[in-house]
Amino acid sequence: MAVKREIQASVKDQKLVEMRRGQMIRGAVSLFKQKGFHRTTTREIAKAAGFSIGTLYEYIRTKEDVLFLVCDSIYERVQNRLSSIDLETGSLQDLKLGIAHYFRIVDEMQDEVLVMYQEVKSLSNEARSYVLKKELEMVGMFDQLIRRCAENGELSLTRDHQKMLAHTIFVQGQMWGFRRWALQKTYTIDEYIRLQTDLLFPESSSKGLAEIGG
């Protein structure tokens, strides 16, 4: 588990810091969504957060801090929602449910996921690695689910294949968000889930990939 990366605040009252940063993040996400990190000014963030530019700087040190806070909070929320998945039982059925659950979270938090997806690269190296570490934790969740399936014989994959599959699943979730311009014109989230699941596990519908829908 990654160590908490602290953003310095001048204000001491931790409850207040938490609250102000909440406002800040909500405002910033909505702005980044519209215009991206670089085109959003700190003044706009302060205004959207409901306080002055001076106050903003009482709770962060640089503009980049806002971006970090935003990315961090988004991962936190995704991870939170993902945590309802039971990693222990681990049948193929559970894996599929996990995937469906994850895809639906991405669908619901589309804007946030997109923002994070497009802006992490603007973080400093340190902040970026911190955030990406969280991403790997999520990939790890899928890896574990897949592993269980391998262990109970429902999937027969090498460790390398398992890990790659976990990565692929994770990216396919994000893909629903970052390729929405192409995908969401054609499919609903439910169709997307069904199609991708079919492609990932053709045999599980007792058909090979060669026979899906055949």
Residue span binding a second copy (CB under 8 A) among the ranges 23-31, 77-85, 95-103, 154-162: 154-162
**DSSP states along the chain:** -PPP-PPP-S---HHHHHHHHHHHHHHHHHHHHHHHHHHS-HHHHHHHHTS-HHHHHHH-SSHHHHHHHHHHHHHHHHHHHHTTS-TTT--HHHHHHHHHHHHHHHHHTHHHHHHHHHHGGGS-HHHHHHHHHHHHHHHHHHHHHHHHHHHTTS----HHHHHHHHHHHHHHHHHHHHTHHHHTTT--HHHHHHHHHHHH-GGGGTS-GGGTT-
213 interacts with, out of a second copy, DNA, none, CB within 5 to 8 A per kind: a second copy
What is the closest distance, in whole angstroms, from the C-beta atom of residue 187 to a second copy in the complex?
A: 8
- The residues, ordered by sequence, that sit 6+ positions from 146 with a Cβ below 8 Å of its Cβ are 95, 155, 157, 162, 165, 166
Tell me phi and psi for residue 201, to 5 degrees. Answer: -130, 70
Question: Which CB sits closer to DNA, 118 or 174?
Answer: 118
Residue 108 in the binding site for a second copy (CB under 8 A): no
Q: How far is CA 86 from CA 82, 132, 202, in A?
A: 9, 23, 24
Choose which of 155, 173, 188, 190 interacts with a second copy (CB under 8 A).
155
199 interacts with, out of a second copy, DNA, none, CB within 5 to 8 A per kind: a second copy
What is the closest distance, in whole angstroms, from the C-beta atom of residue 144 to DNA in the complex?
A: 39
What is the closest distance, in whole angstroms, from the C-beta atom of residue 82 to a second copy in the complex?
A: 18
Residue 207 in the binding site for a second copy (CB under 8 A): yes
Residue 189 in the binding site for a second copy (CB under 8 A): no
Residue 15 in the binding site for a second copy (CB under 8 A): no
Choose which of 157, 180, 184, 189 interacts with a second copy (CB under 8 A).
157
What is the closest distance, in whole angstroms, from the C-beta atom of residue 213 to a second copy in the complex?
A: 3
Residue 163 in the binding site for a second copy (CB under 8 A): yes
Choose which of 87, 97, 164, 189 interacts with a second copy (CB under 8 A).
164
Query: Which residues of the chain form contacts with a second copy (CB under 8 A)?
Result: 36, 38-39, 118, 121-122, 132, 135-136, 139, 154-158, 160-161, 163-165, 167-168, 171-172, 175, 179, 181-183, 186-187, 191-192, 195-196, 198-204, 207-214
